[in-house]
Amino acid sequence: MGWTKFRIIPARAFKKILYGIFIWTCLCYAVFRITNHKGAVTYLTARVNRGLLQNVQSMQALAAAGAVGGNANEFPTTSPPANQDNPSGSRTPGIPQNFLDLEPQVDNSPALNEKQLLTLLANHSNLPLAYWSANKNRPIGSKSCVKFPSLYELDFNNIYWQRLQTSNGTYYLYAAYYDNRWRAGSVPIVRILGMVDRIKPIPTICQLWFDKKKTVAFSQATYTYAWYSKWGNYKDGILQPFVISCKVPPKESGGQVPTSVSLVESRCDKPTTNLRILNERPKKKEDFAVCVKGLDFLHEDLSVRLVEWLELLNILGAKKVFLYELEIHPNISKVLNHYQKEGLVQLTPLTLPGNQPNLPGFRHLYLKSKLTHKRQNELIPYNDCLYRNLYSYEYVVLLDIDEIIMPVKYDSWSGLMKEVVQQALKEKNYTRASYNVRNVYFLDDLQDGDDLHHEAHEQGIPRYLHMFQHVYRSKNFTKPGSYVKCFHNTERVVSLHNHFPLNCLGTCTTFSINTSLAQLQHYRKDCVGSLKNSCKTDFRLYTLKDTTIWRYKDEAIKRTTRTLSKLGFFS
């Protein structure tokens, strides 16, 4: 067994080794620092990326040259295609050259404060103006047994409704309006539109709030049923439409118009509702407004037909069209937003109250399967349109977007109604609550004679103008009083149904306009459900060509084409 002999390193050599280790350590540290510096990374990455990009571009150029030369197989063709969206000089496909210096564009607008937010909400809600930040601490009703309710104590339902729960029934309130029409009596009335899950609501009290008053006025509520029992759904548990009326006490009000109203079960109950009272008084009262129920066209694009319809209404004399939105196709939204900016349209979002579904798509299926519920819900937007315009228009006309009241003898609704009112007064010397127009079908496939297929293109009229293209109608009108639409006199009606007034100040009198003066032109694929069995014999068998609408074709073509072009429908 022997010992291994180690060679002793001289001191000078040992020092050289130590110096080498030290220099190597410093070099490694320097490399580490450099490789972790952002500028170095950028430089190195850029060099590598530039080499890769030049390699890719060279391969693409060779492939292109080969394709031009007719022998593309001589060159590699597996490189990715150039990104056409790349900025000039980009070093990597899809990445701008100066990506480190770019700043994404985001909305850096300052957040709205409470006053700004409430001001914005005031234009889209039924809340009183007293809830604005500047007024919220005002001692309204401080000398009464009940205090002005806090904003966050109100019971909201489905965005646009307020709820009152009583000992016998639940009330869903939509909006309130001031009504001092002289036919209503010497005492002004606050009208509330709502739906109640009872046929006969229990007695309730209106708490009327006034600006700058420390006392609240009380009034017994009365209920006007806005439905007929024979139409169905006449039972408790199903939401029923009502017009709720609250007389404004002259002594307590001092002639002042209340600003908001709460509905409670007992006089001094703490309110969970508080509706702003609408009282719009323009300087001039116009002739005609059109009211349209909640639009339910989530997947059906009727935008082009809507442009044609709105332009024709305006040509006939409608100053404004009030529509309500449940769910609509994006193109319909684009059209209606355009006309809102133009001042022809007012579009109001709408939901169903209570436990009814409001999920888009599901709500559509619900309304389709529960037709009577649908009809009852429609009475809210119809009557909201009426009361918002009591003092703005002489007549409101309730139409669907496939209907048009067409004057036969005159060019406009104004000329038509001047003669109609004169005829009505000659027959009986009093103004009517409404003037009704009889319905006639312009079905999609009608044509004169035995051929029931409307495939011909009417010369000089664009194919996209549905009403102007479909000029074949049934010879027969629907029966008098059936499926009519009316010019409703805003001085006389209290509640409206789709086809006629339900309740009026006095008797709900109507005058039937002779078909020689006007007709309700109804553009459909087929007759309505209740007439489908007799549609062929009553309305399809005998037809005629009716070009009354062509009286307006030049102006309508100019307007619709201009609007569709402006909105990009032809691009």
Give residue-wise pLDDT tens across range 425-462.
Answer: 999 999 999 999 999 999 998 875 444 444 556 788 99
From CA 273, how far away is CA 221, in angstroms rounded? Answer: 14
Interhelix angle 371-388/362-369, nearest 10 degrees: 100
Statement: residue 74 has pLDDT above 50: no
Q: How confident is the model at residue 91 (pLDDT cuts 50, 70, 90)?
A: low
Given pLDDT bands bounded at 50, 70 and 90, which one contains residue 22?
Answer: confident
Sheet-wide strand order for 518-524:
403-407, 518-524, 439-443
What's the confidence (pLDDT) of residue 321? 98
pLDDT band at 141 (very low <50, low <70, confident <90, very high): low
What is the predicted pLDDT for the residue at 133? 53
| Residue 26: band (very low, low, confident or very high) from pLDDT cuts 50, 70, 90 | confident
* CA-closest candidate to residue 439, choices 404, 396, 398: 404
Average pLDDT over residues 53-69: 44
In one-letter notation, the amino acid at residue 267 is R
CB 248 within 8 A of CB 217: yes
Once rounded to an integer, what is the mean pLDDT over residues 20-26? 80
| Least-confidence region, from 20-34, 35-49, 85-99 | 35-49
Instruction: Round the average pLDDT of the chain to a whole number and report it.
Output: 87
Residue 61 has pLDDT above 50, yes or no: no
The 10s digit of each residue's pLDDT in 528-563 is 988 989 999 999 999 999 999 999 999 999 999 999
Q: Helix or strand or coil: residue 377?
A: helix
How far is residue 92's CA from residue 115's CA, in Å, rounded to a whole number? 49
480 or 99, higher pLDDT: 480
CA distances from 383 to 112, 336, 532 (A): 34, 21, 30
Report, as an integer, the average pLDDT of 494-523: 97
Strand partners, 196: 171, 240
Which residue has better confidence, 268 or 74? 268
In tens, the pLDDT along 242-280 reads 999 999 999 999 899 999 999 999 999 999 999 999 999
pLDDT of residue 355: 97
Each residue of 323-371: pLDDT tens digit?
999 999 999 999 999 999 999 999 999 999 999 999 999 999 999 999 9
Residue 155 φ/ψ, nearest 5 degrees: -105, 100
Domains of the chain, CATH where assigned: 126-278 (2.60.40), 286-448+460-567 (3.90.550)
pLDDT at 56 over 60: no
Rounded mean pLDDT of 510-528? 96
Task: Extract the runs of DSSP E, i.e. beta strands, from 345-463.
Answer: 345-349, 393-398, 403-407, 434-437, 439-443
Q: Which of 174, 180, 184, 201 is nearest to 504 (CA)?
A: 184
Rounded to an integer, what distance in angstroms lies between the CA atom of residue 424 and that of residue 489? 13
b/e string for 44-60 if b means 16 or more Cβ within 10 A?
eeeeebeeeeeeeeebb
Q: What is the pTM of this model?
A: 0.81
